[in-house]
Structure 1
Amino acid sequence: MTARPVTPAPLDRRFCVAPMMDWTDRHCRAFHRVLTRRALLYTEMAVDQAVLRGDAARLIGFDPAEHPVAIQLGGSDPDDLARAARIAEGFGYAEINLNVGCPSDRVQSGRFGACLMREPELVRDCLQAMREAVSVPVTVKHRLGVDDQDPRETLFGFVETVAKSGVTSFIVHARKAWLDGLSPKENRDIPPLDYDLVRELKAARPELEIILNGGLADLDQALREGEGLDGVMLGRAAYHTPFLMNEVDVRVYGEPLEARTPSDIVAAYRPYMEARLSEGVRLNAMTRHILGLFAGLPGSRQWRRILSEQSHRPGAGWDVVEAALDAVAEARAAA
């Protein structure tokens, strides 16, 4: 286990980047941290058994420069989750989050994720065990309900039960999850969103911290829909159009405006990329996270094409990124 680095406190959850499987790895988080110093970043979900039995340093190790950063755990056994949470705290994470929202078959087969919406007492017990095991905050990310559950009845009842664990921060994905008949991709779009219900929850439980998640397309919508709540969490929008996060520190946290272009962001990310390349990390492990940086701008297609076609080649290095930047500059000049 690594020595525990100093973590910032208290946590400010006004803007968070969602945990996203196969996306929010350590390279992605390092890139996002270049865009925003203040947003709370989350890891991909780490299954408790993998943390307990696998190479924890490889699985959940991270650079302290990523702070503030939280880890999301998946599981349903209170004792195992408590042990995994203790390990994660030892690595220096500033928060431990429990996944009660993922609808995938793989997660359901392990009896965790969104299917736990049917077992609020078990979720309560898991969170209580995690809280007793660590000194950092423990939070939960969940849905409005699953399948044929009534969203209002399920959401309010779930929070009522789970809050008895002592957890006070709830990240609410404002959709139900359909566990039977819809794919994880379809679950991101088909069940209707209900932001009003999340706001009603906050009005009914003002003492709890309620963070809104689900379907937020950009920073403008996030700030509008998050009015009256304690924070917002963006997922796909933050990943696919990451430059929107360049405004987060100004618009959410009131910090001074720092005028930067996407090219400036690439330059700021370069030292991290070159350091990882020197360690043997393949270029495409990092460039796959920056494909959307120029979205909506001249040259975005060329940027994506060059990085996608050339970054995976053996020995690919910074020169590939330079070529992509040159193509963007040419497209901008011709626009």
Structure 2
Amino acid sequence: MSSLPSPRTSALSAADWRVSVAPMMDWTDRHCRYFHRLLSPRARLYTEMVTSAALVRGKQLRLLEHSQQEHPLALQLGGSDPHELAQAARFGAEAGYDEINLNVGCPSDRVQSGRFGACLMYEPALVADCVKAMRDAVSIPVTVKCRIGVDDQDDYAGLQHFTGLMLEAGVEVLVVHARKAWLKGLSPKENREVPPLDYERVYRLKREFPRLAVVINGGITTVAQVQAHLARLDGVMLGRAAYHDPYLLAQIEHALHGEPLPARESVLRQLRPYIEAELARGTALKHISRHLLGLYQGEPGARGFRRILSEGAHLPGAGWALIERALAPRPLAA
């Protein structure tokens, strides 16, 4: 594992974005992504949002650490200064990422105070300038993740105008969370649940901008929903469903590509070398095992599996033996 793998580029193909796992703060770290890759060989994975200021002014290049097994892998950036974003994108490309994604969808107060995230939907010309600067700086794809609207800016015309400017700036892939964001009055969690989903607005966007690859995000929880969206759009991005029920990723691979469904236990055993290598370099088991808790979601013994990992992973010396305990037939049959 290297914090700065050798540079690589990837040819742009709509198929590359058919299925992806959303960038989720505090969730999609490098351990989560490694685990998700074992379940889905093809899904495009995204980092947690990294601010351009952290990379450029804070010199926190450690935030770019990842393993080669995670590819195809995108770095999501947050920021609104074109020059700074261009430099951060350059760092990402040099670190080996396959895509740079600009966050124009996060509604949290912290993000708003930094003038990035969903509030940038009020400033589409600035977003276009940011995209142009990043595209000039790197040869890998630069994409944007946005909402269908913000606050009272909740008509199709606003999204249409925003999308047109993105296309002019050179964006070829637009990820659209099919809910608007309320910048005041709702928490980030409520912004993922309260504003109603409007998939039809995203479908219309694809019809009117046919050469743009449109990826839909928001409320997608089943294989059938993934297939239905793919019949009308270029890609589907899963968020919390992929985290809380990660085996869904394997089920999607099976449905779309005929991949044999792996046994859950076999997936965990494939993770053993990674876990032991991480423990050897000082990583606490709890930082990895927290991403595994949903693997048996809906299966007999799921509660026992979660309990053993939750109660034991934080203890000093916790290691692979705890995973074996969680896999023992007794708790899984409970």
Q: TM > 0.5 between the two?
A: yes
C-alpha distance 217-165 of structure 1, shift in aligned 2 (>3 A): same
Q: SS in structure 1 opposite 2:27?
A: coil
* Partner residue in 2 for 1:278: 280
* Partner residue in 2 for 1:307: 309
What is the CA distance between 1:151 and its match in structure 2? 3.0
* Partner residue in 1 for 2:58: 54
Quick one: which amino acid aligns to residue 30 of structure 2?
R
1:187 correspondence with 2:162: no
Contact 1:145 1:175 in 2 (8 A): yes
* Superposition pairs of residues 212-231 of structure 1, within 5 angstroms: 212-231=216-235
* Partner residue in 1 for 2:75: 71
Q: SS in structure 1 opposite 2:254?
A: helix
Quick one: which amino acid aligns to residue 311 of structure 2?
E
What stretches of structure 1 of length at least 5 have no aligned partner?
Answer: none
What is the CA distance between 1:178 and its match in structure 2? 0.2
Q: SS in structure 2 opposite 1:215?
A: coil
C-alpha distance 309-239 of structure 1, shift in aligned 2 (>3 A): same
What is the CA distance between 1:280 and its match in structure 2? 0.7
In structure 1, C-alpha distance between the alignment counterparts of 2:38 and 2:218, rounded to whole Å:
24
| Matched-pair identity in % | 55
C-alpha distance 73-118 of structure 1, shift in aligned 2 (>3 A): same
Q: Deviations over 1:213-261 (max 9, x none)?
A: 0111222212213321000000000000000111233323x2x432321
In structure 1, C-alpha distance between the alignment counterparts of 2:194 and 2:20, rounded to whole Å:
23
Q: Deviations over 1:92-142 (max 9, x none)?
A: 000000000000000000000000000000000000000000000000000
What is the CA distance between 1:332 and its match in structure 2? 4.6
In structure 2, C-alpha distance between the alignment counterparts of 1:299 and 1:151, rounded to whole Å:
47
1:261 correspondence with 2:268: no
Please say which of residues 149-158 and 281-290 is displaced more in the overlay: 149-158
Please say which of residues 223-232 and 299-308 is displaced more in the overlay: 223-232
What stretches of structure 2 of length at least 5 have no aligned partner?
Answer: none
In structure 2, C-alpha distance between the alignment counterparts of 1:187 and 1:64, rounded to whole Å:
33
1:241 correspondence with 2:248: no
State TM-score, norm by structure 1: 0.95
1:198 correspondence with 2:238: no
* Partner residue in 2 for 1:88: 92
Q: SS in structure 1 opposite 2:49?
A: strand
* Partner residue in 2 for 1:32: 36
Contact 1:212 1:226 in 2 (8 A): no
* Partner residue in 1 for 2:330: 330
Number of corresponding residues:
330
In structure 2, C-alpha distance between the alignment counterparts of 1:151 and 1:312, rounded to whole Å:
48
In structure 2, C-alpha distance between the alignment counterparts of 1:3 and 1:232, rounded to whole Å:
28
In structure 2, C-alpha distance between the alignment counterparts of 1:276 and 1:323, rounded to whole Å:
19
Q: Deviations over 1:126-165 (max 9, x none)?
A: 0000000000000000001100112312111110122211
